[in-house]
Chains A and B, each alone.
Chain A
Amino acid sequence: MVARRIIGLWSVYGRMDVMWLLKDFNNFALYTVTDAAINVASVAGIWLIAARFNGIGGMGIYQVLFMLGYSLMVNGLISTFFSFNVYFISRIIGRGQMDHVLIMPQPVWVTLLTEGFTPVSGSGVLLSGIGVTTFALSRIDNLVSVPFVIALVGCIGLSVIISLSFSFMWGSLAFYSPVGAEEVCTSAGSLSWLSGFPLNGLESVSKYVMLSVLPIGLYAWFPSMALMGLSSSLNIALLAFIALAYLSLVLFFFTRGLKHYVKNGSYRYLDRGHRR
């Protein structure tokens, strides 16, 4: 029943996204061109470095591209399913816009899971990711198989959970300091654009930091290494464990924050970004 409801909501948000894109030709043309330019720019840097040096940090050029594609798919899924500031939840909380969520007759998690669905305007990065990954896999021998594809899809899901949880954990601070923490998710989210860079060359301490408290390495590098057989396949299980830990932590912090919001209210309301 809940699944049916979620699909129904995704369908309505999807239609609204299409209608927004098609509202006039200028809007459609400019948005499509700028989105394409951003996508090319996000791919070009790492691709060119990998091509110039025939790989980065011990990874071959197509392995780097696979990792880049993985990272783009993770970021693309987030921008497809969690637009309208849902990923940047501190903006919604800090601007007092949780009121709008709370007057809807459905659980908060259902709203957050569906309200940011933009399958057309938000899917450019996802499509780039699928393209880059497909290209990279076509050049890497003996890697693609059914278990590999299942593991790839599973790992991408886990990386999305970790990235979202990380953003929501920081975002929960906005329950306590709406002004100070309003943009904290923007900073946390900006880390995700570094996730396409391999961490191989880094010293151990930095690497461990980026695999735990600042989990950039978990967004692409760590699972890609395991999927390509460059590290132990047990690391996929470790990724699942870390995702579970992050999810538990964010449920704890977010629920506490929401209780604080309902107890104390928000002394601030800005309509900026709300349903726009």
Chain B
Amino acid sequence: MSRMDRTDTSTEVTAVRLDSVTKVFSQKTRSDTVLGALKGMLKPAVRTVRALDAVSFTVESGEILAYAGPNGAGKSTTIRLISGLLGPDSGKVSALSMDPVRNRVKYMQRTGVLFGQRTELWWDQPVITSFDWKRVVWNISEQSYWRMRNELVDLLDMSAFLNTHVRELSLGQRMRADMAMALLHEPNLLLLDEPTIGMDVLAKRQIIGFLKDLNRRRNMTIIVTSHDMDDLMEIAGRIILLDKGRITYDGDFNRLRGLIGGQRTLILTTNSSKPLELEGAVYERSEDNRHWYKVDAERNPIASILQRVPPEALIDVETLRPPFEQQIAELYRNNLGSSR
């Protein structure tokens, strides 16, 4: 194996391609009675779960793709397929012009993988030892190693804890060290599964800023999954939404916002505990003299709704924009997202 000294970037136009990829898992269903359990041992009841159903998409080289969906949608399965940890039942996965399973050794030399709830760091060693270990296992040349290490230590602000044992790090510090581990070999493709999970706001900002910077300067292709839609929106320009193994949306965030509409919560404080009936606003609940309404501000501008409120009854007005995640959840519930 030749020593890595890659200062060139990938020449592939398409970094990742999934063609009608289907992945089905079998799950044994268990009985809650002893007799049922005994029967189940001899003849287990098996149900199949279609984790991915004919999923197709491409990711261009240098693109940042956010991959989102509710629990069980198939996000992690997709990341595992692209990582080569899992093979598809049908269809084809290709990344960096390789089959991730068949060309695993060569492919992993050019790919970085980070699972937010796992670590590649050696727990009982200083962070720096894990970096040295990575240099040998990934066969990184001395020159590349020192260049990347210095750069990453600087960008991720790690110099203070470089010689600290991994088990003594805070979660934010550990994630930064893990992020550096995933990047030390200068991968062309970076796969991140929940990279900001459990992190405080400051640490999140640092990681997000770093990823954007990395993508801009190195033209690195990044696929990132997260439950936090606000994080994803900040990192990526394009998002794929997944539900029950199928793509429900593939496009940019702005178009998605358009699909969602201008959902707002309108809170009126009036001189009465009885809510007013307002055309264009859906009443939700009241607390004393405060009344909550749901409004689609694009269809029914707040100003026009307020014109219908008698001025003498109105004491105060508040409007709230629901978190993006809540809006996405609503999108799933209403099955509106069937736009590709």
Contact = CB atoms under 8 A, between A and B. Distances in A.
Nearest to B123: A276
A12 B121 CA distance: 14
A105 interface: yes
A267 B76 CA distance: 11
A99 B193 CA distance: 14
Interface stretch (A62-70, A191-199, A237-245, A257-265): A257-265
A15 B125 CA distance: 11
B136 A105 contact: no
A147 interface: no
Nearest to B138: A105
Given A103-B85, A107-B105, A265-B80, A271 B119 contact: yes
A19 B138 CA distance: 21
B109 interface: yes
Nearest to B185: A105
Contact of A23 (B80, B121, B124): B124
Contacts of A105: 104-109, 137-139
A230 B129 CA distance: 50
A23 B77 CA distance: 39
Interface in A1-15: 1, 5, 8-9, 11-12
A100 to B, nearest CB: 7
B85 A99 contact: yes
Contacts of A263: 86-87
Contact of A5 (B1, B83, B84, B118): B1
A102 B165 contact: no
B87 A271 contact: no
Contact of B133 (A16, A102, A269): A16
A16 B132 CA distance: 10
Contacts of A264: 25-26
Contact of A275 (B101, B109, B121): B121
B15 interface: no
A142 to B, nearest CB: 47
Contacts of B84: 102-103
A190 interface: no
A243 to B, nearest CB: 28
B136 A12 contact: yes
A150 interface: no
Contact of B108 (A1, A103, A265, A271): A103
A20 interface: yes
Contacts of B223: none
B5 interface: no
Given A103-B85, A262-B87, A276-B124, A12 B1 contact: no
Contacts of A99: 85, 115, 118
A109 to B, nearest CB: 12
A16 B80 CA distance: 30
B136 A23 contact: no
Interface of B: 1, 25-26, 77, 80, 83-87, 101, 104-109, 113, 115, 117-125, 129, 132-133, 136-139, 165
25 contacts: A5-B1, A5-B139, A8-B136, A11-B136, A12-B132, A12-B137, A16-B125, A16-B129, A16-B133, A19-B125, A102-B84, A102-B85, A103-B113, A104-B108, A104-B138, A105-B105, A105-B106, A105-B137, A105-B139, A263-B87, A264-B25, A265-B25, A265-B77, A267-B25, A275-B122
- The 8 A-B pairs of least Cβ separation, nearest first, read A105-B108, A105-B109, A276-B123, A12-B136, A265-B86, A275-B122, A103-B113, A105-B105
